[in-house]
């Protein structure tokens, strides 16, 4: 006679589903990082992986409860699924905490009263994959909040045309893709660029405007996130990185 001990089915299936959800998530990240895939398909794949990991976590908890209450076997498998699913869900938990704590940076500009406007030409729209940022309101946020975000204009002691070239060189050094450039009659001008996040390569659209001042040029930046405050990457950090790169080009 062969005697078999009952095992929890939920706990036994949990690690398989947890590993599958983790592999789906990793596949979505690799497709975004190295493949020519749009943002929405990547989001769908990654969210599917997270959903599978969440179901695996629920199965693991159910299996552990059954083991504790009914004395069935399968605690090791349930713990295995619990650990793997928790590891897979750690990333969205960290992202959710960052989104909750950070201010809304959907549309951020260094000039709150007259933000740089994105061009509506066919070339500029093609560079943004057809996305048209809405017109920015005259005042995007209070001056105190703007100062706290450290998103302020950059003043340069050089001619506007030279400042515009320096800004373009700085944007290219940051890995941004220039999509459209327009020269102004006063010697300044504006260009647009696409900046992508490090891991998922999600786009943020940047408009950089250079205007002459009494003793040089003023550089203003506007950063628009496609997915609102849920976009990876900080608009403030984009502006600070560009300022630092422009100053490095100017000093060099």
pLDDT tens for 115-161 read 888 887 777 777 787 777 777 655 555 443 544 455 678 898 888 98
* 94 and 154 within one domain: no
Position 147 scores a pLDDT of 42
Q: What is the CATH number of the domain that holds 166?
A: 3.30.530.50
Whether 94 is in a domain gets the answer: yes
Q: Are 170 and 215 in a shared domain?
A: yes
Same domain, yes or no: 55 and 153: no
Q: End of a domain among 65, 100, 135?
A: 100
- The closest of 106, 232, 221 to 171, measured between CA atoms, is 221
Q: Which of 100, 120, 148 is the last residue of a domain?
A: 100
Q: What is the DSSP string of 143-167?
A: HHHHHHTT---EEESS-HHHHHHHH
Q: What sign for the dihedral angle of Cα 180, 193, 139, 156? A: negative
Distance in angstroms (rounded) separating the CA atoms of residues 78 and 67:
9
Q: What is the pLDDT of residue 32?
A: 84
Q: Looking at the domain assignment, is residue 163 inside a domain?
A: yes
61 and 26, same domain (yes or no):
yes
Task: Identify the domain boundary among 75, 100, 125.
Answer: 100
The answer to whether position 92 is within a domain reads yes
- Residue 195 and residue 235 share a domain: yes
Looking at the fold, whether 127 and 242 belong to one and the same domain comes out as yes
Token pair 């093609």 is found at 126
Count up the domains in the chain and report the number: 2
Angle, CA of 177, 110 and 116, to the nearest 5°: 60
Q: Tell me which of 229 and 66 has the higher pLDDT.
A: 66
pLDDT tens figures, 60-84: 998 888 888 877 777 888 899 999 9
Per residue in 158-182, pLDDT (tens digit) is: 889 899 999 999 999 999 999 888 8
Identify whether residues 137 and 225 lie together within a single domain: yes
| pTM summary value | 0.76
> Mean pLDDT, to the nearest integer, of 197-219?
88
Note whether residue 1 is domain-resident. no
In this prediction, residue 37 has a pLDDT band, given cuts at 50, 70 and 90, of confident
Answer yes or no: is pLDDT of 102 > 90. Answer: no
**What are 183's strand-pairing partners?**
189
How many whole angstroms separate alpha carbon 121 and alpha carbon 143?
Answer: 32
What range defines the domain where residue 123 resides?
107-251
Regarding whether 115 and 33 lie in a shared domain, the answer is no
Mark whether 140 and 209 lie in a shared domain: yes
Which percentage of the chain shows pLDDT scores above 90?
A: 31
Q: Are strands 216-225 and 203-213 parallel, antiparallel or unpaired?
A: antiparallel
């Amino acid at each position: 006679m062969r005697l078999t001990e009952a095992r929890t089915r939920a706990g036994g299936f949990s690690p398989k589903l947890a590993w599958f959800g983790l592999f789906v998530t990793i596949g979505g990240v690799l497709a975004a990082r190295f493949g020519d895939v749009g943002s929405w398909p990547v989001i769908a794949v990654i969210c599917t992986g997270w959903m599978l990991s969440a179901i695996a976590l629920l199965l693991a908890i159910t299996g552990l409860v059954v083991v504790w209450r009914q004395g069935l076997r399968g605690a090791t498998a349930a713990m295995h699924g619990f650990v793997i699913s928790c590891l897979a869900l750690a990333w969205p938990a960290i992202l959710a905490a960052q989104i909750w704590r950070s201010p809304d940076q959907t549309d951020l500009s260094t000039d709150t009263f007259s933000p740089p406007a994105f061009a509506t030409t066919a070339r500029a729209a093609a560079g943004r994959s057809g996305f048209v940022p809405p017109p920015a309101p005259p005042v995007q946020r209070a001056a105190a909040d703007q100062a706290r975000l450290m998103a302020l204009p950059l003043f340069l002691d050089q001619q506007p045309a030279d400042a515009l070239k320096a800004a373009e060189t700085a944007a290219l050094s940051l890995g941004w893709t220039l999509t459209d450039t327009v020269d102004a009659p006063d010697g300044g001008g504006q260009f647009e660029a696409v900046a992508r996040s490090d891991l998922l390569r999600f786009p943020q659209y940047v408009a950089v405007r250079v205007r002459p001042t009494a003793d040089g040029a003023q550089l203003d930046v506007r950063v628009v996130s496609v997915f609102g405050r849920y976009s990876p990457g900080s608009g403030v950090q984009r502006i600070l990185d560009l300022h630092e790169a422009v100053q490095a080009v100017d000093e060099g």
